[in-house]
Structure 1
Amino acid sequence: MKIAIIGGTGLLGKSLVNNYLSKGFEVKSFSRSHTECYDAKYNHIINFAKLEEELSKEFSIWKPNILVNTIALVNLKKCEDNYELAYSINVDIAKKLSLISIKFDSYFIHISTDHFYNDLKIKHKEDDEVLLLNNYSVTKRQAEKEVLVINKESLIVRTNIIGFRMSKVDSFFEWLLKAITKKEKIQLFSNFYTSPISVYELGNILLKCYKRDLCGIYNISSSEVIDKLSFGIKTANKFGLDSNNISSVKIENFSQNELKRALTLGLDISKIENILNIKMPTIDDTLETLFKEYKDKNEQQ
């Protein structure tokens, strides 16, 4: 099976490439830059201004069964400061990839977001009303709509990913783990709720979706909802570290609180569980996956 990953140098993209290569699939990544996380022969540097032209040339020779879009501008401030940039990355690229997926008959997976809710509900279903608080959520929701208009057979994945980026810029989990290990004093939000799933677990479930030819919008996340503070304490306990330097802070007291952001991002995963007949990972399952990944990386060094 041939799998094309668009954005293979980001948190999710790197994991998907390594995961799928380990399973024996033919994988090609298409990115703006290089990465040292896997052999350079699998990563193709492309000009995103000529995305359709360059991918069409490549896919006319090597047609992927699956096309995964992991590209996104997720920085809320950058999205607020430059709506045009946010739209071009979050919407235009998704639209172009939708068209390419039709042209080459590839199963299109578009990675969306969970940044659509700010209410009192703990978990949100796919058809719950969304609340668009900022340019990030506006552009990500618009991308969902555009993708399904162009290619109704596409899979839209609402998720909250966590894992190891392995680059100069740490992911949230890498920052958290380093801070706890070094016994640094850190503050974590007690009123910001998510359903995090490891990038490795997500990659495996995406393959199950392909086998079932799922289309439309699906929540794919952990089965539980947790605040950042509790997650940090659970992480410390899982890794055998001291959590006494972790303190609580309300997001409204944070220095960047001028940015409007959704706070209750928990996802209801009953739809994906029922159709795939699987159980989504709990928070403890997710931490166990991350712990094993961490141990494996350290043993290889």
Structure 2
Amino acid sequence: MAQHSANSRNHSSVRRGVQAGNPGMTRILVTGASGLLGLNFALTYSRRHQVTGVVNAHSLTGAPFQVLNADLAKPGSIGEILDRVKPDVVLHCAALANVDQCERQPELALRLNTDLPEEVARATADRGIVLVHISTDAVFDGKTGRYTEESQPNPLGAYARTKLAAEHAVLQAYPEALIARVNFYGWSLGGQRSLAEFFFNHLSAGTPVRGFTDVFFCPLEVTVLAETLMQLVEAHCSGIYHVVSGECLSKYEFGCAVARRFGLDEGLIQPVSVHEGGLLAARSPDLRLRTDKLAGVLGSPAPDQETSMQRFFELYQAGHPQQLRALALGVDSHISG
């Protein structure tokens, strides 16, 4: 297997135009472009680059980027799309991310979370296209925390197992690929996809909600994540990176942070243990990841929690949630490109 080090890419085999400060527009292809991650990536990058978003079950009328409807699970589909779009960079966000559904449908999880990323890796490698594959912090069992990129993964459930298998498959097929282990939140099409939306929706309605005091993570707001990933692409990074916040907190503390930033009642959040949650799939309790490797590329610490939460709040003030819902409804969203 290829080494997971910060090797420079072979520039002769990678398309030009992916450099910091390059005045030209980079052609970017985003898979899973109707999901929370892919849609916000596509919107963020479309302000500076030429973006094509691949969707399957949804249409995005009025999006400020090209939208392709395609079933990536169909054999040969990804190659056809790459030859049509000719992107400089592919961000592979498409995945079966519902951890409980992965437990119920392990074969589907394997197809979408492992086999498909391997196909994307082979297709991009064959064409010399930069690949950013989105992985997860859940590859670790969460028993100790403070994991580095070299720490030994130990996935607990079907989702995490298929995502870890994808890391191995992608690097085997394309050693120069960039794999980002992430944890993120943000505004989504339906307004109910992320943990931040969960807390915001319940607290805004004055509804009591529970927050786990014994589950720790390092989430980034999704547009902050998008910007951070592009810095890694422009630096020609490859291998595995932990692209998360440099600060970690419990799910309960995160909910309180949402409440405070939006002026909501954090007293509505009941502190409980994850063992009281009644969840089907096992959750890793301590997913604090070290970001030293990321900070070395950025030349500064990884984004902190305040920066991320402030962005989440500013997007709300700017009407971003309503603009996203307008896309789902096929209404002119007035999102500037």
TM over 0.5: yes
Which blocks of at least 5 consecutive residues in structure 1 are unaligned? none
Aligned residues: 298
Q: Say if 2:59 and 2:69, in contact at 8 Å, map to a contact too.
A: no
Mapped to 2, the partners of 1:37 and 1:263 lie a distance apart of: 40
Which amino acid in 1 is paired with 2:72?
A: F
* Partner-residue secondary structure (3-state), 1:99: helix
Is residue 2:270 matched to residue 1:277?
Answer: no
1:274 CA drift (Å)? 0.8
Mapped to 1, the partners of 2:211 and 2:185 lie a distance apart of: 16
1:173 CA drift (Å)? 1.5
Q: What pairs with 1:222-301 in structure 2 (closer than 5 Å)?
A: 222-256=245-279, 258-297=280-319
* Partner-residue secondary structure (3-state), 1:22: coil
Which amino acid in 2 is paired with 1:266?
A: R
1:155 CA drift (Å)? 0.3
1:179 matched to which residue of 2?
A: 202
Which amino acid in 2 is paired with 1:49?
A: A
Distance 1:168 1:198, change over 3 A: closer
Mapped to 2, the partners of 1:38 and 1:231 lie a distance apart of: 33
Distance 1:297 1:51, change over 3 A: farther
Match of 2:182 among 147, 159, 162: 159
Which amino acid in 2 is paired with 1:285?
A: T
Mapped to 2, the partners of 1:71 and 1:13 lie a distance apart of: 7
1:48 matched to which residue of 2?
A: 72
Q: Say if 2:180 and 2:243, in contact at 8 Å, map to a contact too.
A: yes
Mapped to 2, the partners of 1:281 and 1:33 lie a distance apart of: 33
Distance 1:36 1:174, change over 3 A: farther
TM-score (norm 1): 0.93
1:285 CA drift (Å)? 1.2
Which amino acid in 2 is paired with 1:175?
A: F
Mapped to 1, the partners of 2:151 and 2:81 lie a distance apart of: 39
1:299 CA drift (Å)? 10
Distance 1:122 1:192, change over 3 A: same
* Partner-residue secondary structure (3-state), 2:140: coil
1:144 matched to which residue of 2?
A: 167
Q: What is the Cα-based RMSD across aligned positions, in Å?
A: 1.9
Match of 1:18 among 15, 34, 43: 43
Mapped to 1, the partners of 2:281 and 2:322 lie a distance apart of: 41
1:41 CA drift (Å)? 6.3
Is residue 2:109 matched to residue 1:86?
Answer: yes
1:262 CA drift (Å)? 1.1
Mapped to 2, the partners of 1:147 and 1:208 lie a distance apart of: 21
TM-score (norm 2): 0.84
Mapped to 1, the partners of 2:212 and 2:321 lie a distance apart of: 32
Mapped to 1, the partners of 2:135 and 2:197 lie a distance apart of: 22
**Greater RCO, 1 or 2 (C-alpha within 8 Å, sep 6+):** 2
Which 4+ stretches in 1 moved above 4 angstroms? 298-301
Which blocks of at least 5 consecutive residues in structure 2 are unaligned? 1-25, 324-337
Mapped to 2, the partners of 1:158 and 1:41 lie a distance apart of: 26
